[in-house]
Amino acid sequence: MIPEKRVIRRIQSGGCAIHCQDCSISQLCIPFTLNAHELDQLDNIIERKKPIQKGQTLFKAGDELKSLYAIRSGTIKSYTITEQGDEQITGFHLAGDLVGFDAIGGLKHPSFAQALETSMVCEIPFETL
């Protein structure tokens, strides 16, 4: 049963928002220790994005850390550019993965993150965490 408060919020947002508790990958990216109130708070800060198209970037090396990204579907690659100008892949990220953690230490992204296919992500603004 969906609590009335979440139903009202979903109706107000046009009926198409997928809330964390309803997401098919929630077991992969939500800490299991969160209670219902904490899950509601998380739902309020996460921004659901439009699909990221193949070739689009979530962030570039040197960009300021603004958000972390939870991948709902699709595949994202992270990579750097070597001194010779070659692309060096540093990781592949699939549904349930969080992307952007490598920027927390310096508050700037050390790598690029690019969609390998049409992908859906949830954006988690870093300043609200």
Residues 44 and 21: beta-carbon distance below 8 Å: no
Residues 93 and 18: beta-carbon distance below 8 Å: no
Q: Who's near 115: CB < 8 A, 6+ residues apart?
A: 52, 53, 54, 55, 56, 57, 58, 74, 75, 76
The whole-number pLDDT of residue 25 equals: 63
CATH number of the domain residue 18 falls in: 2.60.120.10
Residues 111 and 77: beta-carbon distance below 8 Å: no
Q: What is the DSSP letter of 44?
A: H
Residue span of the structural domain in which 95 resides? 4-128
Cut 0.75: pTM above it: no
Structurally, how many domains does the chain consist of? 1
pLDDT along the chain (129 residues), means of 10: 45 50 63 73 71 96 95 95 97 93 94 96 85
The whole-number pLDDT of residue 29 equals: 62
